[in-house]
Amino acid sequence: MSKPTLTLSLASIVSASILLSGCQNDDEAIGGQLENPPPPTSANFELVWADEFDGASVDTTKWEIQTGDGSSVGLPPGWGNNELQYYTADNISVADGTLVIEARVGDSPDPNFNYTSGRMRTQGLFDFTYGRIEASIQVPEGVGLWAAFWTLGSDPSPFGEWAARGEIDVMESFGQATPFVAGTAHFGQRFPLNVSASKTYDIDPTDGFHQYAVEWDSQRIRWFVDGDHYFTVSRDTYWNYYFKNQMEGFLSGENDAPFNENQHLIVNLAVGGNPAGMPNPNDADVFPGQLLVDYIRVYQCPLPPVNDGLGCENSIDEVDPFVITQGGDGTPPPQDVVINTFTLYDDAPGVLFSGTNSERPLGIGVFDNDGALTVAEVEDTDTTRGTVLEITTSGGGNIQINDPEGNTFELFGMGRADNNEFYGGELKFDVYIDSSQTQATALQVGVDSGFPDIGFTQVQLANLPSDEWTSVSLALSDVIQSNIGAFGGGPMNVEEVVNLIVLEPVGGAAKMRFDNIELVCGTPQTEPCGIVRITTVPQNVFIDEIDLFWTFGIGAVDSGSGFETYTDGSNPDGVNKIEWEITTSDDAVRDQVIDITFNGDGENGVWFIATDPQNLAGYNNGAVVFDLFVSDFGSDTNTITMQIDCVFPCTSGPQDLGRPADGEWQEIEIPLNQLINAGLNTTTVSAGLVLSVTDVNATTTFTIDNVRWEPFTDIVEEEVLPLSFFADFEGVDPAATALGNNWKSFGSVFTADGSFVYNYGAPFGTPLNSNSFANIAVGQGGAAQGEQQLILFNDYNNGDHGNGLFIEAATFQQFNLVADDAGTYTFTFDARVPNEGAIADPTIATAYVQTLDPSNGFSTTARVEIDLSTISSTDWQTYSVNFDITDAMAGQLLEFGFTSRTTNFAPSAIIVDNVDFDRAQPGVFYETDFEAGDAGAGEIGDGWLSFAAVFADGNFAYSYGPFPAPNNTGGFTSYATGEAGEAQGTQYLNVFSDYNNGDHANGLVIEAASFQETIFSASDAGSYTFSFDAKAPFEGGIAAPTTAYAYIRVLDPNNGFASSVDVRVDLSAVSNTEWARYTVEATLDESLDGQILQFGFSNSATGYNPSGVFYDNVNFSIVE
């Protein structure tokens, strides 16, 4: 393999610098001594380390070959990424000037791993800060092969664990079908609070050797591919926050931390893992797969000062000034840690959220161990400290900081006690140990959610100075995750913390003082931390005056004023419905009140106290409360309503109060939960109270006082909204960019043999008009579908369509299940194709309902499907499937929706409408009003069947059918209009004889039946009713000798289809002027299991005699 020639010009540069620095002009005649020239501002990178891989094996003076599954370096098996390989030295070789790392199948020394590969690093052999890192690499092709060339913060790192110590990914390739490589910087905090900045570069890394480089200095990191500068991350973006030690606690790194300390090189080829997808071990085109490295080189910039790495840009690859470093062009914005501090004690117990509606005073709790411990707040001899806490114990006892009312605290963003993830919370305090009275050996520091559920750690007093103040910092994760079960309890619950800190000397008598006790937490900007605010103070609306929070004040609108808002309650023009006045009450116990009058002028109106939108979600567990005195209701039927608005059209809607406070003061309390269930969004409250009356013709006079939002209420709103969903898409803007109404989409990618490759989506809101997932169709519905429908299709923006991969595009609704949701549900929808060929092989389309368990990797716990792949008709059809939700599914996710899986941009479109998910009717259920039927179609549809039996002189002659009930063919059935009553809508069903049968003219009797049919199950047993509206046509309807009846019938296929049940209602004399309601009743027991249930209409006619009867509003259901 040819090698590029290295030309190092450092010596000539240094020589020139020496000559220039020694040359001064001493000729006084031409001006005397000259100043030395300014120091150079640029230089060329200098090669400081390289491996050209020219030997016969890996140079172990430069590289350490890492082996195993990652557990040897403290990572979970799979190297912390769920990787599938076991690293061995045997998978790494050097040949023909090239490093070869080979991924193989089936030769692992560990039976838990099916693959082997190689990984090597320079830690301890070559560690460096700043420079240009460069390699020439060819990566293998194949799903699941994850090739990487990167750097990692070296041990011992002052920043602790990954990713606070930093990582620079010079190049990563994930074996994906779409060719690109990625460059990434990892920084922030120790996992799981790590963050990153990343960008991809479109290139096929498998088609040969490519040069990948990073230039890293004290200001920024730049990424290059084949000399093309494509990404920059500035030190304004990266940061770190790390726990240093017990004295200093958590610290923020310097401006360019963590990338201001040593890193080392790593090159590896992983198999599988979180971003790489699942490999196919049987794919001979993938395994063995080889990562090839021609060379790896590290350069550094020799320009003084040599410790910042600056000054050598453009000396190898040209820097693109338009690859900006902050914002734009896909580059990340400035970031930093966000630190929140909660004072628990400083001169006195702290007050959380002081000055807000969530203000929460803290208190000091004491466990005195039968008088052994005493606590006092004393003035310290150090006058700068003020008041401090002093404890004295003869042995045992502790003090706590907690809520004196006994309420608990919910911590968030600080980790949990029941796992070992390390977060950025810490307990900090100053302590003074009086050595003359202290024999204790340790200070035990804990946090609990009620004894014995406590976590604690012990600070050895031998490690602390005595007789002087010293600061102690303890990582909260270390505290709450340590010594679990020491007192017989379990892990403490961070969502129900009782004591924010417990301080207890152990091992003997002690006298100590404490000051500046704090709970501190730091997290990335996107993952906040803290103590959940609990609103504790009422938000006043009116108490003697309008609270300034309600910036608009009082107003009213009514239909008489064209719903224009008016704010003058005196009704100066005499045209307003509503008048009001703030006045002094005649009641001695009250001060200012508001008198309100609704005039009985027949207009509709509301009175309100309003503001700009405000977030009052902190009151969700509380109530809206006010005092009311009604002087005159104005009529016997009039009632008062209240509501809360949240920016039109958002509102709780009117809540009818009835007729309270008639002639006396009464406190009205409406739980926020009730208002939220009625539609209120408390994050955008725009009116603190809205009042109205129900009788617009009654003059109503009343007075209100003490209007406020209370944070707590004793009234429990028991209503649980049922699990249900319906969408007909009529309200969606066809030009919108998103479908809305909580529709979600998600993409998964598979190989042709069904192996998973990757997925995308969190999920995300379903897009519209983007060539992916969905659009709104207009004008493609029948009468039942209205004007707008939803058209669903694949994600044609995914380029892997052209790479032989199958893209499965899912669009669905998602709900969190609770125990009350248990039951059987029906998923129903209308569907058709937009045109012939709109869906074609190899596309597979489904409708589905499934549940996913988030506690088990979102595994599918139940699923039912309807195959929509073979839809070919442009006629609408209704589909439905039942799904059982069990008690065990509480806490799981319910999804119902649609998928299409296809490749190579094959057509995949279907149209759906009237999507309904609701609790299934028990037993057999059918209902129709025939309005959705297509009067122009050749069949009635919706499962209706027809059958005829022919008789001669009362004896059976022959039969035919069943077959789909025809429409407008002269036989059996047709849609009809023009004689409906108000209850029948527009369209109904006409049932008559088969006038296409010529035996009408031969004296034979044709019994024509049209009906619904289903297989009866033992689980359907019960008492049923078959109800319907019926009348004969005004003219030409049923007449003697024709007879007609409605029936419920069960046929036994194991007994020659003999009738097991046959219940009828005679309709021969049905009126031809008035619609009437009829009911057929039958009890169907478990013995009918597996038999054929029919319900419908029949007539017997001959000689072409009239036989028509109209039917509508058909219902067949179990009697509950």
Q: Given this chain, do its domains 47-300 and 725-919 carry the same CATH topology?
A: yes
Q: Which CATH number fits domain 926-1118: 2.60.120.260, 3.30.465.10, 3.30.470.20, 2.40.30.10?
A: 2.60.120.260
Question: Which residue out of 46, 134, 172, 426 is catalytically annotated?
Answer: 172
Mean pLDDT computed over 809-837: 88
Residue 220, SS3?
Answer: strand
Q: What pLDDT is attached to residue 854?
A: 64
Bin 530: left if φ > 0, else alpha if -120 < ψ < 50, else beta: left
With a cut of 60, say whether residue 531 has pLDDT above it. yes
Taken in order 557, 558, 562, 566, the sign of the CA dihedral is negative
With a cut of 50, say whether residue 100 has pLDDT above it. yes
Banded model confidence at residue 27, pLDDT cuts 50, 70, 90: very low
Q: Locate all alpha helices (DSSP H) within 404-557, ordered by sequence.
A: 476-480
Say whether 895 is catalytic.
no
With a cut of 90, say whether residue 263 has pLDDT above it. yes
Q: What pLDDT is attached to residue 850?
A: 96
* Interval 499-518: pLDDT, tens: 999 999 999 999 999 999 99
Mean pLDDT computed over 851-875: 84
Q: What pLDDT is attached to residue 183?
A: 94
Q: Locate all alpha helices (DSSP H) within 268-322, ordered by sequence.
A: none
CB neighbour class for 678 (10 Å; exposed up to 12, middle 13-18, buried from 19): middle
Banded model confidence at residue 742, pLDDT cuts 50, 70, 90: confident
* Interval 1028-1053: pLDDT, tens: 999 999 988 999 999 999 999 999 99
Looking at residue 723, the DSSP 8-state letter turns out to be -
Say which residue the tokens 């069947």 belong to. Answer: 945
Mean pLDDT computed over 985-992: 95
With a cut of 60, say whether residue 899 has pLDDT above it. yes
Q: How far is CA 682 from CA 39, 549, 554, 616, 677, in A?
A: 64, 15, 20, 5, 11
Q: What pLDDT is attached to residue 29?
A: 36
Nearest residue to 155 (alpha-carbon basis) of 74, 238, 233, 59: 74
41-55, 189-203, 710-724: segment of lowest average pLDDT: 710-724
Which has the higher per-residue pLDDT, 15 or 438?
438
Q: Which amino acid is at 174?
A: F
Q: What pLDDT is attached to residue 750?
A: 94
278-287, 423-432, 550-559: segment of lowest average pLDDT: 278-287
Mean pLDDT computed over 3-31: 34
The CATH class, in words, for 725-919 is: mainly beta
Say whether 64 is catalytic.
no
With a cut of 50, say whether residue 852 has pLDDT above it. yes
With a cut of 70, say whether residue 969 has pLDDT above it. yes
Percent of the chain at pLDDT > 90 equals 73
Helix (H) or strand (E) holding 675: helix 672-677
Question: Which residue out of 83, 102, 134, 167 is catalytically annotated?
Answer: 167
Which has the higher per-residue pLDDT, 668 or 24?
668
Mean pLDDT computed over 1055-1071: 94
Which has the higher per-residue pLDDT, 28 or 142?
142
With a cut of 90, say whether residue 812 has pLDDT above it. yes
Q: Which amino acid is at 163?
A: A
Q: What pLDDT is attached to residue 1?
A: 36
Mean pLDDT computed over 426-433: 98
* Measured distance CA(97)–CA(99) in Å, rounded: 7
Q: What pLDDT is attached to residue 329?
A: 52
Nearest residue to 1102 (alpha-carbon basis) of 1009, 1032, 996, 1001: 1001
554-558, 731-735, 804-808: segment of lowest average pLDDT: 731-735
Helix (H) or strand (E) holding 10: helix 10-21
Q: What pLDDT is attached to residue 306?
A: 65
- Answer yes or no: CATH 2.60.120.260 is held by domain 544-710: yes
CB 660 within 8 A of CB 628: yes
CATH no. of 339-531: 2.60.120.430
Phi, psi (5° rounding) for residue 172?
-135, 140
List, in sequence order, every beta strand (DSSP E) within 694-742.
Answer: 700-710, 725-727
With a cut of 80, say whether residue 858 has pLDDT above it. no
Q: Where are the domains of the chain?
A: 47-300, 339-531, 544-710, 725-919, 926-1118
Q: What pLDDT is attached to residue 7?
A: 30
CB 483 within 8 A of CB 363: no
With a cut of 70, say whether residue 12 has pLDDT above it. no
Nearest residue to 366 (alpha-carbon basis) of 355, 357, 375: 375
With a cut of 50, say whether residue 8 has pLDDT above it. no
CB 429 within 8 A of CB 516: yes
* Measured distance CA(464)–CA(478) in Å, rounded: 19
Q: Can you give 141-153 as a three-state secondary structure string?
A: CCCCEEEEEEEEE
* Measured distance CA(102)–CA(293) in Å, rounded: 12
Residues 6 or more apart whose Cβ sits within 8 Å of residue 629: 661, 663, 664, 665, 666, 702, 703, 704, 705
Say which residue the tokens 């491996």 belong to. Answer: 51
* Interval 150-192: pLDDT, tens: 999 999 999 999 999 999 999 999 877 668 999 999 999 999 9
As a whole number, the mean pLDDT across the chain is 90
CB 166 within 8 A of CB 187: yes
- May I ask the CATH architecture of the domain 47-300? Sandwich (2.60)
Q: What pLDDT is attached to residue 540?
A: 96
CB 1039 within 8 A of CB 1062: no
Q: What pLDDT is attached to residue 143?
A: 86
